[in-house]
Amino acid sequence: MSGGWAGSDRVRRLPPGWKKIRARVLERDPICVLCGVRPSTHCDHIKAKTDDHRETALQGVCAECHGRKSSAEGNAAPRTKPGRRRPPEQHPGLL
Give the 3-state secondary structure of residue 12. Answer: coil
Answer for the pair 62, 38: CB distance below 8 angstroms, yes or no: yes
How big is the chain by its Cα radius of gyration, in Å?
20
pLDDT in the model for residue 6 = 47
Strands (E), the chain: 42-45, 58-61
Please give the pLDDT value at position 2: 45
pLDDT at position 79: 67
Q: Which residues of the chain have pLDDT under 70?
A: 1-12, 79-86, 93-95
